[in-house]
Structure 1
Amino acid sequence: MTLADELMVSERRLAHGRGAVYADTLADDALVVVPGAVLDRDACVAAMDASDGWDDADLGEPRLVTSGDVATVVYPFRGRRGTWTYTATLASTYRRTDAGWRLVLHQQTPDHA
């Protein structure tokens, strides 16, 4: 399994997960940048527990950038909740730790097509 594949397994878990999955994946100092908000780890976990989640999520082909113990995956995302569809470009930066890869920064750029 390539590093991009490994990180995308984590991204898919997050896309379908609740707060506990985020608590297990996010670094203590993580930031999550979503439209209209910058969330720290605790705020993100709480937001995911309060969210209805996606009915369906499609994560496209990733691009990978690495530097030492840091790796970023950038990919197209399409999520559906009921009749509402959200499309965006997502970027997630992970840091390698003794406990494995931990998400330190996640950012979403919505498509406005």
Structure 2
Amino acid sequence: MDPIIDELMTIEEVLANGSGDDYAEVLHEDAVVVVPGAVLDKAGCVAAMDSSPGWDEVDLGDARLVRSKDTATVVYPFTGRRGQETYTATLASTYVTAVGGWHLLVHQHTPE
């Protein structure tokens, strides 16, 4: 497997189980996060994650990588469980390289 996929999917795993602080560390200053019912900037995403109860269990499926010189996008199936509810979607995250590593620029959920 491509080491960039491993690196980015490790970040995605942290974010899937993370808090607002985790997102604040990874999100680009100009980030856009598109989730069902909302389009959030960095501050809005961090606040939403701080108020979220989080997932009881997550599964990140096999990722596809699309890469250019300074960006990388991972697209993968996601399943999250919270109590008796299950959420399934295709997720896409585009990262840009910068000082300090990868920063999440655009993240989108497409529910199944």
Coarse TM-score class (shorter-chain normalised): over 0.9
Q: TM-score, normalised by structure 2?
A: 0.98
Question: Counterpart of 2:71?
Answer: 70
CA distance, structure 1, for counterparts of residue 100 and residue 4 of structure 2: 16
Cα RMSD after superposing both structures: 0.7
Structure 1 runs, 4 residues or longer, greater than 3 Å off: none
What percent of counterpart residues are identical?
Answer: 62
Equivalent in the alignment of 2:27: 26
Given the alignment of the two structures, is residue 61 of structure 1 paired with residue 96 of structure 2, yes or no?
no
Matches within 5 A, 1:93-108: 93-108=94-109
1:38-65 Cα distance to aligned partner (Å, 9 max, x none): 0000000000000000000000000000
1:99 positional shift:
1.3
The answer for unaligned runs of 5 or more in structure 2 is: none
Residue 68 of structure 1: CA displacement? 0.7
Residues 8-64 of structure 1, C-alpha deviation per residue, up to 9 Å, x if partnerless? 000000000010000000000000000111000000000000000000000000000
**How many residues are matched?**
111
Q: Secondary structure at the match of 1:9?
A: helix
For residues 27 and 21 of structure 1, the distance between their equivalents in structure 2, rounded to whole angstroms, comes to: 12
Q: Which amino acid aligns with 1:70?
A: T
Matched, 1:3 2:36: no
What residue ranges of structure 1 are gaps of 5+ in the alignment? none
Residues 1:86 and 2:87 are matched in the alignment: yes
Which amino acid in structure 1 is aligned with residue 76 of structure 2? Y
Deviation at 1:98, TM superposition (A): 1.1
SS for the counterpart of 1:107 is strand
**Once the two structures are superposed, what CA deviation does each residue of 1:63-108 show, in whole Å capped at 9, x if it has no partner?**
0000111000000000000000000000000000011100000000
Partner SS, residue 21 of structure 2: helix
